[in-house]
Structure 1
Amino acid sequence: MLKLKMYIDGKWKESISKKTQDVINPATGEVIAKAASGNAEDARIAIETARKTFDSGIWSEMPNSERASFLFKIADKIEEISEELIRLETLDNGKTFRESGYDVSDAAECFRYYAGLITKMDGQTYSASETIQTIVIHEPVGVCGLIVPWNHPFLMCAWKIAPALAAGNTIVFKPSEMTPITATKLFEIIEEVGIPDGVANLVMGPGREVGNEISTNSLVDQISLIGGTNTGRQIMKAASENITNISLELGGKSPNIIFSDADFETAVDYALYGIYFGSGQVCSAGSRILVEESICQEFTEKFIERAKQIRVGTGDNPDSEMGPLVSHQHMESVLNYIEIGKEEGAHLACGGYRLEENGLDSGYFIAPTVFTHVTPEMRIVREEIFGPVAVIQSFKDEKEAIYLANHTKYGLAGSVFTNDSAKALRVIKKVRAGITYINTYHQGFVQAPWGGYKQSGIGRGLGTFGLQEFQETKQININLQVEPVGWFEN
């Protein structure tokens, strides 16, 4: 059984309390690791270490090219041990080997991207007047508290750690207590490549203690969270005391709009991918499928037929197309939403139950689920379920499609399927979401910004925006004519 420790100031440590937490394989319900369970004092020590290290300049004042060399080494090492990381990610989270493979590969690309970006041209200059030259530069924020969820454990590590380190910050990183295994492996890589002690610190433990300390400690300069909207609210409240910088990538209830002139098979296929990839445990999942009236019945029948054919199984089975949910508690939450949907009068057209046959009885598996005959006010239509549950609604025309798409407190993602390019662009421009697609879904690239409107978050990660998230912008004015200003008479 794995024994996972925290990493603070270049040393692997147990929690001060000596407490541990079981890490469960969601495919079997078995304990696969014991992870150190830290508290506020563990987080405080890590934050103080990060503060002292940042102020020393050992990392923040290092030339960009030197910092980049460390990130390139991390990317190389990820690729070198990718098979081990894929196996551990599947063991820890339950996702299929194929999904874990994409995540590990994307994580390496993320480190390599930011290593390259930090060495490129930066800043601006202005000839503001005849006697003043103005320079704009970007500097590291300082100590960054990074908090990530359990649905893409390793990839989310990269999304936050790579740009934060590239910019010259020191970090205190908190993974989900449910999926800390691959985060620990990444910190082993950080240690191996020789990043100076105190630059990158790993603290595991519950959000109410570790996360709260990161959010309220005045030595933290930036809090960057990927998580649920309720967690985002708590972070905002806590950070307000010190006016700490925050960036939040939160929940979603994303619309997938399908017009009658779309390529039918393509639309069905991507709609399945949009909701059932990752067992629906994806913040940008296309959980609300909006279909034009004239094809809604045909589309629904085909979608349900295909959903029933999805091969659900353990992630290490090469035949599996969809794995389990991450925990027993989360499975119960999703099953509860399914009961709510039935009570609200929605028609359960497919799935809606726990899978227990063929050796799945010990894991947290739910059959791909479809609800029809839903209304916009139903909770299963309004609230993020974060599981393999799709709702299908019909619409009459563009106007109603746009209304239904935007009839939500979220605004993370959205898509349009149509062969009319003008209509596609016209509609997608009116969908109030930060990540949008035309005739595709779930396509994301490290070079492009990631984030949402409304209650889906604040700020943007990835791309150049992801680097700016961890930088402060400074204006420097240089007087080219050094003589008294003469504002006041002698």
Structure 2
Amino acid sequence: MINRLQPSVTERLRLPINRGLYYGGSWHEPEDGVYVETRSPASGESLGETAWADSVDVDHAVEAAREGFRVWRETTPVARGALLREAARLVRQHAEELALLDAADCGNPIREMIKDAEIGATALEYFAGLATEVKGYTVPLGPDHLNFTIREPLGVIARINAYNHPFMFAVSRAGAPLAAGNALIIKSPEQAPLSSLRLAELIGPLFPPGVFNVVSGGRTCGEALVAHPHIAKVGLIGSVPTGKAILRGAVDSMKKVTLELGGKNALIAYPDADPDKVAVGAVRGMNFSWCGQSCGSTSRVFLHDSIHDAVLDAIVKQVKAFVPGIPTDPATTMGSLVSEAQFNKVMRFITLGQSEGARLVTGGNSADDPHLGNGYFIKPTVFADVTPAMRLAREEIFGPVLSVFKWSDEVEMLRAVNDVDYGLTASIWTHDINKALRTATQVEAGYIWINGSGKHFVGTPFGGCKQSGLGREESIEELLDCTQLKNVNISLE
């Protein structure tokens, strides 16, 4: 028998009324009539069907967006900023219902999802304030010439979002394209599309028709967006294989690409670090609340041998606070994985880690609560005695699995930290500022915390190196990347 969502929660769950494709300021049926059912990964309950776009639908959405762009690019920056601020107000007003919707749809606990609404609204306000900062500059060429540059919007931008924070990514990554004067098409994550549809219901009517658009679909939809000649830029939050496919698909049209991809991120603790604080940072950085389903999770913890045992013991105590439960329950501290496929992948890595010789310290199995039997729950899992050669240490798991390494030689430790294909985030723990800054320059990652982990700060550029992605977001760099620079030279002879 399928476990249903709690009755009180079901009554509060505001599912989107419209399940079609939103473009040109209105809702549309898919051309081939295909709808795909969405089920809650925590309970197995059906959340209804959603329209699935194919390449023809993408053509319609792009043409509508091109029409919207012609109007939006002529809208003053001040007016664009005002509409983004109104969108932020609506996001805050409907924060609880959107958080509840994501909790039911993607499996993350509502107590964390409610924070996503504030993050998304703040991002909209941040870029609203930058709308008037899309500026050019003058170049002195002598008395016979006036030379200046102007920044112009690109046109239609597509955003392909990930399933771990569907609503937050849809909101926060809309700010820069819209503030710069572009039209936007959001492709919702196929595993959790509902909050993007609800967002279209809430803020879509604020903008001129065609400026803000949302489509749902699978691989066909994504490939059509990437290959479309009238899409000027594609932004992705997703896996490395998907990022590589987008790069290949964008070649023919030479479009811009921004990629926020996977990570196998390191936390490094030096001998002078406080063991209890390191343990708190390691557990927080692992994002156990949403089952480690975060590209920025610090899933590799490198502990100096002088503090290794103390930190490991403290980590085991810390993870006890994360107990799998129904994500729509405000008391739940840890939700479910997003799908059966992801659940099976994580369990295979746990088995692999044991076969490779890593020591399972805690967790390693699914939740034993019978009320969670129809969901994809795995307990917080910690491995010790992990070595750099293990697949457990090298491949992104995207699940609640923390690997702990013991080190004594700094050179060898840093070599192991950097000897992976990824380079998104890193966390460094020490009271020695010289050591901290030196290590920050040596670690191959795009976003570094010193004596901290996990937090993002508005206005600071987030992004990775190596196979963790291209470009920077959450900052003015994201805004400028949504524009193109044009030079104007006036002869005064």
Task: Sort the TM-score into its range (normalised by shorter chain).
Answer: over 0.9
Shift of 1:121: 6.7
CA distance in 1: counterparts of 2:310 and 2:95, whole angstroms: 42
Structure 2: which 5+ runs fail to align?
Answer: 1-14
CA distance in 1: counterparts of 2:314 and 2:178, whole angstroms: 47
| 1:12-51 → structure 2 map (5 Å cutoff) | 12-51=27-66
Are 1:468 and 2:480 counterparts?
yes
Shift of 1:411: 0.4
CA distance in 1: counterparts of 2:226 and 2:470, whole angstroms: 16
CA distance in 1: counterparts of 2:482 and 2:133, whole angstroms: 16
| 187, 202, 223: which one aligns with 1:189 | 202
CA distance in 2: counterparts of 1:110 and 1:187, whole angstroms: 17
1:311–1:319 Cα contact (<8 Å) kept: no
| 165, 188, 193: which one aligns with 1:180 | 193
CA distance in 2: counterparts of 1:425 and 1:209, whole angstroms: 45
Name the counterpart of 2:81. 68
Shift of 1:317: 2.5
Are 1:258 and 2:273 counterparts?
no
CA distance in 1: counterparts of 2:192 and 2:394, whole angstroms: 28
Runs of 4+ residues deviating >3 angstroms: none
Name the counterpart of 1:384. 396
Name the counterpart of 1:58. 71
| 151, 163, 171: which one aligns with 1:138 | 151
Shift of 1:50: 1.6
Name the counterpart of 2:335. 323
| 219, 229, 232: which one aligns with 1:218 | 229
Shift of 1:111: 0.8
- Structure 2 SS opposite 1:145: strand
Name the counterpart of 1:485. none
Please give the TM-score of this superposition, normalised by the length of structure 1: 0.94
Name the counterpart of 1:487. none
Shift of 1:399: 1.9
- Structure 1 SS opposite 2:490: strand
- Structure 2 SS opposite 1:107: helix
Are 1:362 and 2:374 counterparts?
yes
2:134–2:480 Cα contact (<8 Å) kept: no
Q: Which amino acid aligns with 2:271?
A: S
Q: Which amino acid aligns with 2:267?
A: N
2:276–2:311 Cα contact (<8 Å) kept: no
Name the counterpart of 1:488. none
TM-superposition CA deviations, 1:7-39 (whole Å, max 9, x none): 011111121111111112122111112111111
CA distance in 1: counterparts of 2:174 and 2:330, whole angstroms: 31
Name the counterpart of 2:126. 113
Shift of 1:181: 1.2
Shift of 1:238: 0.7
1:308–1:350 Cα contact (<8 Å) kept: no
Q: Which amino acid aligns with 2:234?
A: I
Name the counterpart of 1:274. 285
2:275–2:307 Cα contact (<8 Å) kept: no
| 379, 396, 414: which one aligns with 1:402 | 414
Are 1:432 and 2:444 counterparts?
yes
Shift of 1:48: 2.0
2:159–2:235 Cα contact (<8 Å) kept: yes
1:287–1:389 Cα contact (<8 Å) kept: yes
CA distance in 2: counterparts of 1:310 and 1:247, whole angstroms: 34
Q: Which amino acid aligns with 1:345?
A: G
Q: Which amino acid aligns with 2:185?
A: V
| 1:309-348 → structure 2 map (5 Å cutoff) | 309-348=321-360
| 84, 97, 111: which one aligns with 1:98 | 111
CA distance in 1: counterparts of 2:466 and 2:124, whole angstroms: 29
**Number of residue pairs matched by the alignment:** 477
Identity between Structure 1 and Structure 2 (%): 35
- Structure 2 SS opposite 1:294: coil
CA distance in 1: counterparts of 2:175 and 2:143, whole angstroms: 41
Cα 1:41–1:413 shift into 2, 3 Å = same
1:88–1:181 Cα contact (<8 Å) kept: yes
Name the counterpart of 1:233. 244
- Structure 2 SS opposite 1:118: helix
CA distance in 2: counterparts of 1:383 and 1:424, whole angstroms: 26
- Structure 1 SS opposite 2:442: coil
Name the counterpart of 2:434. 422
CA distance in 1: counterparts of 2:102 and 2:277, whole angstroms: 30
| Comparing 124-133 and 268-277, the one that deviates more | 124-133
TM-superposition CA deviations, 1:163-211 (whole Å, max 9, x none): 1111111122101111111111211122332x111112211110x2000
- Structure 2 SS opposite 1:73: helix
- Structure 2 SS opposite 1:246: strand
CA distance in 1: counterparts of 2:388 and 2:409, whole angstroms: 16
1:159–1:461 Cα contact (<8 Å) kept: no
Cα 1:100–1:239 shift into 2, 3 Å = same
1:153–1:175 Cα contact (<8 Å) kept: yes
1:461–1:469 Cα contact (<8 Å) kept: no
- Structure 1 SS opposite 2:338: coil
Please give the TM-score of this superposition, normalised by the length of structure 2: 0.94
| 1:437-452 → structure 2 map (5 Å cutoff) | 437-452=449-464
Q: Which amino acid aligns with 1:419?
A: H
Structure 1: which 5+ runs fail to align?
Answer: 483-490
CA distance in 1: counterparts of 2:131 and 2:68, whole angstroms: 20
CA distance in 1: counterparts of 2:328 and 2:308, whole angstroms: 36
CA distance in 1: counterparts of 2:312 and 2:275, whole angstroms: 11
- Structure 1 SS opposite 2:393: helix
Cα RMSD (Å): 1.5
